[in-house]
């Protein structure tokens, strides 16, 4: 019981915290993909679901940011990735949303255990969607729950001329 109380009273992750990169989910082909396989990139870790209206509204903007900055060179990183983790329980709903939102990201993933049963909410201290973390190349959080526009500002500021 004490452990549960500690979970609910613990602070949300914030800027400057090191993000535990042992995060994984399945891609469209059912293969397990790990966040720690991404090296020397700025990474947006985005937790979302098909039933989350703000999540769906942001998806096209995340896609545009990915297309604009994926191959960009930054002050301390060699590109930008989005590690998009859907916490939907039904793969079919996720696949339809991916198609409807025109998402074409290499790290487009699903954890079919859902928001409640997947371990990520507890591990990364969140209880609602969308939740996102912008990480520098060293895995340090440089933004929490930023809008696509604000992530764009950060990326533009970090970009080499």
What tens-digit pLDDT sequence spans the chain (161 residues)? 333 223 333 578 999 999 999 999 999 999 999 999 999 999 999 999 999 999 999 999 999 999 999 999 999 999 999 999 999 999 999 999 999 999 999 999 999 999 999 999 999 999 899 999 999 999 999 999 999 999 999 999 999 98
Residue with the two structure tokens 């096209």: 60
Does residue 6 lie in a domain region?
Answer: no
Give pLDDT, residue 46.
98
Give pLDDT, residue 5.
27
- What's the DSSP call for residue 16? T
Does residue 8 lie in a domain region?
Answer: no
Averaged pLDDT score across all residues of the chain: 92
Quick: pLDDT tens for 20-65.
Answer: 999 999 999 999 999 999 999 999 999 999 999 999 999 999 999 9
Does residue 81 lie in a domain region?
Answer: yes
pTM: 0.91
Does residue 54 lie in a domain region?
Answer: yes
Residue 79's Cβ-count burial label (10 Å; 0-12, 13-18, 19+) is middle
Question: Which domain range does residue 124 map to?
Answer: 15-158
Give pLDDT, residue 161.
86
Does residue 4 lie in a domain region?
Answer: no
Find the CATH number of the domain harbouring 74.
3.40.30.10
Residue with the two structure tokens 């979970």: 7
Work out whether strand 32-34 and strand 24-26 pair parallel, antiparallel, or are unpaired.
antiparallel
Give pLDDT, residue 7.
35
Residues in contact with 113: Cβ distance below 8 Å, sequence separation at least 6, in sequence order: 87, 89, 119
């Amino acid at each position: 019981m004490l452990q549960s109380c500690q979970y609910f009273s613990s602070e949300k992750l914030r800027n400057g915290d090191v993000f535990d990169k042992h995060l994984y989910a399945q891609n469209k082909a059912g293969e397990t993909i790990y966040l720690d396989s991404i090296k020397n990139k700025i990474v947006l870790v985005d937790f979302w679901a098909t039933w989350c209206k703000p999540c769906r509204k942001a998806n096209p903007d995340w896609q545009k940011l990915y297309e604009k900055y994926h191959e960009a060179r930054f002050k301390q990183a060699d590109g930008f990735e989005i590690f998009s983790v859907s916490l939907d329980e039904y793969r079919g709903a996720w696949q339809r949303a991916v198609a409807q939102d025109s998402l074409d990201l290499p790290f487009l993933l699903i954890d079919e255990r859902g928001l409640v049963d997947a371990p990520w909410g507890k591990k990364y201290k969140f209880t609602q969607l969308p939740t996102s973390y912008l990480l520098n190349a060293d895995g340090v959080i440089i933004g929490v729950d930023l809008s696509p526009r604000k992530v764009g500002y950060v990326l533009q500021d970090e970009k080499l001329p």
